[in-house]
Amino acid sequence: MFDKNEFKINFRKWLDANPNASYEEAKVFCESQIPLPSRENYTWLEEQSLAWFLWRKENQAKQNLNIYYSEEEIENFIAKKRILI
């Protein structure tokens, strides 16, 4: 039987051990942890976990900017990025 709480714990541990993992690697990990017969019932769990993965990666990137750049430099970077979009 599949235990979603155990999956969440394993996903957090995996992410802590693989902080530079790509989205595809996270997706493969999720797919390997959810048994095929249960996958249809737990697609929401995979989607939720991958969304959390992306959120965490984005926050890591922001923290890295804060370490190396001043607030003014970050604001200028974000403003320029918005202009390009």
Q: Quick one: angle between helices 23-33 and 43-68, nearest 10?
A: 150
2-24: pLDDT as tens digits: 999 999 999 999 999 998 899 99
Q: Report the number of distinct structural domains present in the chain.
A: 1
- Asked if 7 and 33 touch (Cβ cutoff 8 Å), the reply is yes
Kindly report the pTM of this predicted structure: 0.69
Range of the domain at 52: 4-84
Closest C-alpha among 31, 29, 47 to residue 39:
31
State the Cα–Cα distance between residues 30 and 7, nearest whole angstrom: 8
Question: DSSP alpha helices (H): ranges in the chain?
Answer: 4-17, 23-33, 36-39, 43-68, 71-84
37-84: pLDDT as tens digits: 999 999 999 999 999 999 998 888 777 655 556 677 767 777 776 766
